[in-house]
Every structure is written in structure tokens, then in C-alpha cells.
Amino acid sequence: MQNRLAFAQGEIARLAGNLDHLNPQAILERGFSIARDEQGNVVRDSGAIQVGSEVGLTFAVGVAKAKVISTSGLD
């Protein structure tokens, strides 16, 4: 019985660690940010925004607005 309990506790700890890697806040804490267009949609492609438009940026701590001055795709 003790072995099963110890195994289950280990599995719970392992799964919790896996979930933490998927947590958006944990990703922001590693230095990434989330960019959103003027409608609030997540920007995944520089072709989705226009020069001169504003984007919202979400950081681990706080938010900012930025104006797009140029874009380029990854060729």
C-alpha cells in the first residue's frame, strides 16, 4: 500500500510539473510576451498586422501598447 501511495504521489508531482510548463504565465516568466492586434486577437504572423497599427503586449508583469514601424516574414 505504501508503495502505491508513493508512486501516486510521484505521478501527481510529475504531472503538475508538466502542467506548469504549459501555463501561459510560466511562459511569460521565461521572457516571452504575447502580442495582440487592435481587435485583441493574438498575433502569430507578422503578415497579420500592418505598419502603423498598434499592438498590445502582455509581459510577465504588466502590459504595453506599441506602434508597428516595420514587419518582415521569416524567409
Asked whether residue 16 falls in the same domain as residue 49, the answer is no
Asked whether residue 64 falls in the same domain as residue 39, the answer is yes
Q: Strand 63-67's sheet: what is its strand order?
A: 34-36, 54-58, 63-67
pLDDT score of 73 more than 90: no
Taking only the tens place, the pLDDT of each residue in 10-23 is 999 888 888 877 88
Asked whether residue 37 falls in the same domain as residue 70, the answer is yes
> 3-state DSSP helix/strand/coil percent for the chain, to nearest 5?
40, 20, 40
Taking only the tens place, the pLDDT of each residue in 16-72 is 888 877 888 988 999 999 999 999 999 999 999 999 999 999 999 999 999 999 999
Asked whether residue 50 falls in the same domain as residue 19, the answer is no
- N-to-C CA span, the chain: 58
Give the global pTM.
0.71
Q: Name the residue range of residue 44's domain.
A: 33-75
Output the nine-digit C-alpha cell for 33.
510576451
pLDDT at 67: 98
What is the count of structural domains for the chain?
2
Asked whether residue 22 falls in the same domain as residue 44, the answer is no
Asked whether residue 27 falls in the same domain as residue 14, the answer is yes
